[in-house]
Structure formats: structure tokens, C-alpha cells
Amino acid sequence: MLSRTLLSAIALLPALVVAQLSGTVGPSTSAAKKAATKTCDVTKYGAVADKSTDIGPPLVSAWADCKSGGVVVVPKGDYAIATWATLTGGSKVAIQLDGVIYRTGTAGGNMIFIENTDDFELFSSKGGGAIQGNGYQIHAKGSSSGARILRLYKVTNFSVHDLVLVDAPAFHFSMDTCKNGEVYNMAIRGGNMGGLDGIDVWSTNIWIHDVMVTNKDECVTVKSPATNILVENIYCNWSGGCALGSLGANTAISKVTYKNVYTWSSNQMLMIKSNGGSGYVEDVVFENFIGHGNAYSLDIDQYWSSMSTVAGDGVQLSNVTFKNWKGTEANGAQRGPVKILCADKAPCTGISVTDFAMWTESGSKQWYACQSAYGSGFCLKAGSAKSYGVTTSTQTAAPTGYSAAKMAGDLATAFGTTQSIPIPTIPTSYYPGATPYSAIAGR
């Protein structure tokens, strides 16, 4: 079985990409069927669209009445959330968020936390639902502590779509130990500082597609443990960029595909990051990447200095494919477009870099660097097993075919950390020439 949404578009996907999903994703019961069973309007439980009355308790009460089958409805309007909503034990339940929820509380944790729930959907019926975290109120004081906007834990057969998450105090959206999920048609917009991750996922059989992230940390990142993850049509619009990691002890990541990723003015296009540790990353593909104005491009760093060293010989990377990368990096002499630095005690094997053409926006040269990395392409060595020191090569002529399209929505500047960040509309395009799989709700 494949994704319910994917079934209608199966002919458009190559077999390799389809294979990354291990089965059906998304809710088993439609929102319409759930609504026919029961509807719990939060305004009947004390919620008021006055941007000051706490929606937290009404949301919890409405969930309690509808969690065994039904739809919790947050009607159009502006609401405040001062106490966080932990929603647990649901089955055949949905949340229809058509209004905008503004954070007024100051606690850490998770503003909205869904756990131990099956057959679940969180969506906006018209694409106008949003959660405004007002993180600038905390960030202006120099702090990145505070609450996540949305966290899912042990949620199965679910979807989250047609929503906007803005200015989280800390992370925006995380999926922890979930299974069979689909995330799509979303805009995530955060401040220009670390610790404000867009989407983090460590789960099984998850399809994330047609999402735009603006922040200065993780765009869409897979963490351990994770398997059968498909990430495509992603727009990292002035972000930290996509990644695997940070990887530590007992890493277990396999069967991951990133496809159609456009990265603009970000820290990197894709990074696999670790420092010591153990375990494995295997059978992963990064295909159809376009980048412009980014610091790093293809960046594997198993001596990443921004994390403390973890005990172990290193995470074993094998069967990692990079294919069809185009565009430009900010300064190729300072940060070359290919950096593959693998652990000396756990050399990378089966690394493949093909159809890769990138060039510098500043100056007239760029470099490639490899360490203890085996495979094909650029500075990678044939064979396997033995460690070797960093080898570099310099290119002084632009490669053929590096020119690549840009997106009309590319931001001219990042959003700061001292003023409110505006709530955007959900984009209609996430990668040059790629059509989103599902129409935006209400359009």
C-alpha cells in the first residue's frame, strides 16, 4: 500500500522515490466522516475570538468530547493561548484550525502537544489557519528558550496540512516516534537565529512535501531513529538548510529520500553532521537540489565543531547518493560546494556524486574536500575501509550546466528577532517547475 494522496500521482514518481515509503500515510478516516460523527466547536467550551481569552482549556475540553471520533473546530477569528494544550489518547479525530492562535503564555514545553493518537488530522479548511508564537518577545531579550509551537508524539496514521506556523519561541514543529504521516501545504516562518528549527522528524514512514521554511536553523531535518522518510518539494527560503543530525550514539537512519529541494540564502543546502558517535546512516538519496547564495552546499562533516564530541568511532555512512545538484554558492573559495569529511575510524563508503554543477557567486575559484570518504565523484576515492587525510582540489572555471532557476518568493532579507513576524499566505510553488501534489485548501 502507498500513500492515499500518492496513489493519484503514482505515475509521476520514479520507483526509487516510491520505495522510500513503506506503506500508507495519512488518516484512515476522512475529516468529513469524522465531522458527521461529532463536531466540537471550541467556542461552545469557552473560547472567545478576542485575542485575549485563553483558548487552552476550551481546546482541551473540546478534545475530550471529540477524541473518540469527531472534529474539534476552531472557527475563524483571533484567539490567545496562555496555557498549553496536551491532547492525548485520540482515535478517529481531527482538529480544524480555521482561526489564528496567538501565544500569550510564557511556559516552555509545547504549545500544542498531540500524543498517543491514531487516525488524526490537523488542518485548515480554507488555508487560513495559523499559530503565531510571538517568539520575538523572548528573542529580543537574547534568549532562544521557550515553547515549541507543535509537537506530535506516538501519533499514527495522520496528516498535518494547510497551516502556517510563525515565530516559535523555540522549535516550530517536531514529529517524535510517529508512524504513517503526511505533512504538506505549510509555511513556517521564524526569526534569524539558531534554535528555531522548522520541521524535525524522527519517525517511520513519513511523507513531507510542499513546505516552505524561513528561519536560521533546521529547514526540514531527519534525526535518529528514522526510516522510510520521503521529503520533497521543499523551499528553504533564507533558512539554516536541510540536514541529517546531529547524529550521536546508536544512530539508526535508513531509506531516506530528499527530492526537489530549493535553498536560498541559507547556511547549507544539505548537511550530515556528527562528531563521534556510533550506528549508521544508509540508503539515502538527495536528488534535484537547486541552491543560490548559500554558505555551504553539499556538506558532510563528521568532525562538526558545533557539537560536543560523542563517545564512539563515528557514525557509518553507506550508500549515500547525491544527484542533479545545480546553482551557485556564496563564496566557493571560502566554503567549497563539496565537503565530505568522514570519520577516520568509520570511513564513508558508497558515496555517489553525479550530475553536480555549482559555481561561486564571489570570486573565480572554488574547492572540493574529502576525508576518509569512498565512492565516485570529485575527490572521493575508490575502494573502502582505510582512513586518509583531507584532500582538496581547486576549480578555476565554471562547470557546464550550473545555471539554475530562482523562485519569485526569494526573500531579500531575513526576519529579525526584535519585531513581530507577519503571518504569510501558503505558497503555491515550492520548487522551480514542480507542481504541488495537493491544491491549497480553499483555493
Range list of β-strands (E), 309-389:
316-329, 338-341, 348-360, 366-371, 373-376
C-alpha distances out from residue 225 to 160, 205, 376, 389, Å:
21, 12, 27, 30
The two beta strands, 91-97 and 218-222, are: unpaired
H or E element, residue 80: strand 78-81
How far apart are alpha carbons 43 and 289 in whole angstroms? 45
292 is catalytic: yes
How far apart are alpha carbons 141 and 216 in whole angstroms? 17
> Cell numbers 563539496 label which residue?
338
Catalytic residue among 119, 200, 210, 217: 217
Q: SS3 of 126, please?
A: coil
CA-CA-CA-CA dihedral for 59, 64, 70, 71, to nearest 10: 0
Percent helix, strand, coil in the chain (nearest 5)?
10, 50, 45
How far apart are alpha carbons 442 and 247 in whole angstroms? 40
CB atoms within 10 A of CB 381: 16
410 is catalytic: no
Contact yes or no for 239/409 (Cβ under 8 A): no
Which among 44, 53, 45 is positioned nearest to 83, based on CA atoms? 53
Q: SS3 of 10, please?
A: helix
Catalytic residue among 54, 209, 292, 299: 292
> Cell numbers 485575549 label which residue?
52
Residue 47 in grid coordinates: 473560547
Contact yes or no for 407/264 (Cβ under 8 A): yes
Residue 250 in grid coordinates: 546508536
Catalytic residues: 217, 292
